[in-house]
Structure 1
Amino acid sequence: MLRRMILSVLFLWCAMAQALPSASFPPPGMTLPEYWGEEHVWWDGRASFKGQVIAPACTLSMEDAWQEIDMGTTPLRDLQNSPAGPEKKFRLRLRNCEL
């Protein structure tokens, strides 16, 4: 009986803790782009994801058997002063996408 009473009190306490209002996000007076500006982003690190493709969403459009992206040339001094090279925009053509 005492065990049930303790579990009931614990359950009610947890339910009340979840129901209490939490601090708003983002903080008042600040929009998401301001909150997630570059000064708030941590650029170093690594993320790993594991998963399984059950059904492919898209395929790459393969007009040529070999596709190449010209990344241009970057002086070695630019790579020595920064952990990342210059940004290069490119496009991938997708086909048979099921969105």
Structure 2
Amino acid sequence: MNDEPLKIKISIADRVYPLTVAYSQEEALRSASKKIDTMIHQFEENYAVRDKQDVLAMCALQFASQNEQRTIDTSENYNKAIERLIKLDEALDRILSK
């Protein structure tokens, strides 16, 4: 794997941003850029919003809320898994103590 920094240009909302990134980050950044542009296009089509700043703010809110929801879901799943492990441990203790 190449550890040298890579110079790329990312386009978001019709603006180009030159970045220097690790080789391993390039694909994720390009994918994120495409997702942002797709979301911008959807907001512009579905709502009467033409100001790029408003559209970008709506995109940021959408991505942040998705991230928060994943965090909540992961936390709930983690807590459920811990509860199940505790119950399994207690059941094993009962079986092994006989």
TM-score bracket, normalised by the shorter chain, equals under 0.3
More strand by share: 2
- RCO higher in structure (CA 8 A, sep ≥6): 1
More helix by share: 2
Q: TM-score, normalised by structure 2?
A: 0.27
Give 1 or 2 for the bigger CA radius of gyration.
1
